[in-house]
Amino acid sequence: MRIAVVGGGPGGLFLAALVRKADPSIEVTVFERNRADDTFGFGVVFSDRTLAAIHRADPVLREALDAHGRHWDAIEVRLKGERLRCAGNGMAAIVRRTLLRLLQDRARRFGAELRFGAEVGLADLEDYDLVVAADGTGSRIRDELEPAFGSRVDTASAKFAWFGTDYRFDGLTFVHQRGPHGVFAVHGYPISHDTSTFIVETDQASWRAAGLDEFDVTAPPGPSDTQSQAYLEELFADQLDGHKLLVNNSRWGNFRTRRTSRWVTLEPRPVVLLGDAAHTAHFSVGSGTKMAMEDAIELARALTARPGDLPAALAGYEAAARPSVDKIQDSARPSLSWWEHFGRYHDAFPPWRFAYHFLSRSISDARLARRDPAFVRRVHAEWVGEHGTEPLETPLAVGGLRFPGRLLTRLPESAPLVTAPDDDAGLPAALDRVAGLVAGGAELVAVHGGAAHTRTLLCEQVRLAHGRAAVLVDPASDADGAVTAVLSGRADLVVAG
């Protein structure tokens, strides 16, 4: 078999090494349009909990992280002069260029051919039995064959830009700051002894008010937005301790979540998608590099386990790899939603609640307590200090009603009910419904149905925009989910199953 891998990123290189390692009779050629030492971005980060499968497949990443990477256990949230830390979040990061060099060496060691400066399309690859499209979210190979894969893309409203800095963060650090033009946030983490990744997010209004919309983002990759670099260096000067921001194709964009209905097509010839060409998930919950390398493991396993039946091998690959991707993408949506609205939380919450709201966006109070009991005890103590009792035992008086606690078994009869939509497209109408109820005098508004993140957004609109009490109706929830919702400020009352 002859395999053409289009795209010399971590996923494509790892696939080439794994296939050749498992079956040297398979010929693998990697085509990469850039030079061997070209790379955009700065570092890649991996969660300790997700690395086991990659380490079992091949030691290259473990060896790279041990020799060249940086590891940490705690996440730090910086807000309004405070720094809050939550342990139990083991992660490691490495310079992207270093990882690519080691993966290139690994692929060559097992006999893969690597061709750099080679931009190819399907017509250039007719002599190969299988084409693997590992050429990123803008995949030329995938787009040549659409609608065969059924791609759809959702574009986030928040803006982000990828920088580096010579300031050394201790670990994954989130900095939130309101400046003269709006609120900005940083995801920072160390990738070497002298460099950190520095990702900035903001909303459209802040971005435009700061005059950061002048750079031509349609220009070919390469030039960086130095005006934004200078603005952000000044805005975060206190956090950077006099250090500088670094650029590498640094420019603003909107995160695009890609989903594809099918990762494989056999017509007009066998082509399979891998990594960002098939799927993306917001960088706040998962590494696209990690997901691509996990795809490579499953594809290599499927191809070498069924050497005489390519259609079955490709079907087996998708069946094995897709469930974990779907899970990550499902968890990424509420996290992405958080980043689209973090300015609201910055202004509404004290630091302890802001940090808890952020860290609990995809996990519950109990799970967070298993990671860092001291952090969760502190948050509960803050609530008790304000209210005198634990969250679910705290009484609430609203609209002439008095509730002895925050966990309910049935919906209050006087609470008007808003149905949350299944996706973001239905949010404007639901938000109008909430506004109408409040204008009509409702003191208590209940939200049910739809998706978890749309229910949360509507409850928060009731609480934070309109100053009314919100009832979250979630039959799938329990006491743990109710504690999380109330303590984080997502809801005032919870009707659980």
pLDDT of 286 higher than 80 = no
Beta strands 396-398; 271-273: pairing state? unpaired
Per-residue confidence (pLDDT) for residue 332, from 0 to 100? 86
DSSP code for 416: -
Instruction: Give the mean pLDDT of 161-168.
Output: 97
Beta strands 407-408; 401-403: pairing state? unpaired
pLDDT (tens digit per residue) in 303-338: 999 999 999 999 999 999 999 999 999 888 888 889
10 Å CB burial of residue 491 (0-12, 13-18, 19+) is buried
pLDDT (tens digit per residue) in 45-68: 999 887 888 999 999 999 999 999
Tell me how far apart the alpha carbons of residues 343 and 351 are, in angstroms, rounded to a whole number: 13
pLDDT (tens digit per residue) in 197-220: 999 999 999 999 999 999 988 888
Per-residue confidence (pLDDT) for residue 222, from 0 to 100? 86
Q: Of 181, 143, 137, give the one whose Cα is nearest residue 41.
A: 137
Confidence category of residue 117, pLDDT binned at 50, 70, 90: very high
Q: Of 379, 351, 352, give the one whose Cα is nearest residue 365.
A: 379
Per-residue confidence (pLDDT) for residue 221, from 0 to 100? 85
Higher pLDDT, 439 or 285: 439
Q: What is the pTM of this model?
A: 0.93
Beta strands 91-95; 113-116: pairing state? unpaired
Cis peptide before 147 (omega within 30 of 0): yes
Per-residue confidence (pLDDT) for residue 358, from 0 to 100? 96
For the beta carbon of residue 395, count every other beta carbon within 10 angstroms.
Answer: 12
Least reliable range by pLDDT among 29-43, 138-152, 415-429, 456-470: 29-43
CA atoms within 13 A of residue 158's CA, in its CB half-sphere:
25
pLDDT of 478 higher than 80 = yes
Tell me how far apart the alpha carbons of residues 321 and 95 are, in angstroms, rounded to a whole number: 26
Per-residue confidence (pLDDT) for residue 219, from 0 to 100? 86
pLDDT (tens digit per residue) in 333-369: 888 889 999 999 999 999 999 999 999 998 999 999 9
Residues of the chain with pLDDT > 70: what percent? Answer: 100
Mean residue pLDDT of the chain comes to 95
For 127, the 3-state DSSP assignment is coil
pLDDT (tens digit per residue) in 248-263: 999 999 999 999 999 9
